[in-house]
Amino acid sequence: MSNSDETKPNQLSGVPAPKRRSVWTPKQKLVRALWGTLGRCVWVTIPSARASILRLFGGRVGVRCQLARDVDIVVPWNITLGDDVIIEDRVILYSLGPIVIGDGCVIDCKAHLCAGTHDMTDPMFPLIKPPITLGQGCFVGFDAYIGPEVVLGDQTIVHARSSVYRSTEPCSEWRGNPAKRVEPNEQGSGEDAA
């Protein structure tokens, strides 16, 4: 690709595409590279060192946390885990922004917590890094999605394959895409997503 390609006009509008800059400092890029190589090797080969290696890369991890082998953590220094947190296989913690997971939370297989997006209203399409917070005792079901800026109240249950795009009240259950609150009289209806 030649240098002139950077100023090539957009085929639809005829306006040159804006030049984008990385939001990551050189130091952050280096740490992310080390996390993705050295950190990943230790994570996979020494299960007992998972909490320690996450702490070494800037994460905050409580006691008795269980982290599966193939958890995908994008930016380790943006992760805060309370005590007794369980994160199952193939969970994605897309931690471009802070992700805080309270004591006793369980994140089931293939769940995706996405603390990063882009500003679609700006032609520079800048990265924005809104936080996600899970209160104490939350359960995020199989293949569920938690979007940017969501706060799950304490003891919230997100059903399997549900997508939560807004904050929830404590002691509530959510199901569907977009997730809607499960009313108490619906709980035994057998309509749970699987």
Query: What's the mean per-residue pLDDT of the chain?
Result: 89
The tens digit of pLDDT for each residue in 103-123 reads: 999 999 999 999 998 888 887
Q: Is it the case that residue 62 has pLDDT exceeding 60? A: yes
For residues 14 and 185, give the distance between their C-alpha atoms in angstroms, rounded to a whole number.
56
pLDDT tens for 152-172 read 999 999 999 999 999 999 999
Q: How confident is the model at residue 193 (pLDDT cuts 50, 70, 90)?
A: very low
pTM of the predicted protein model: 0.84
**Sequence-separated (6 or more) residues with CB below 8 Å from residue 64:** 83, 84
The domains found in the chain, sorted by start residue, are 25-182 (2.160.10.10)
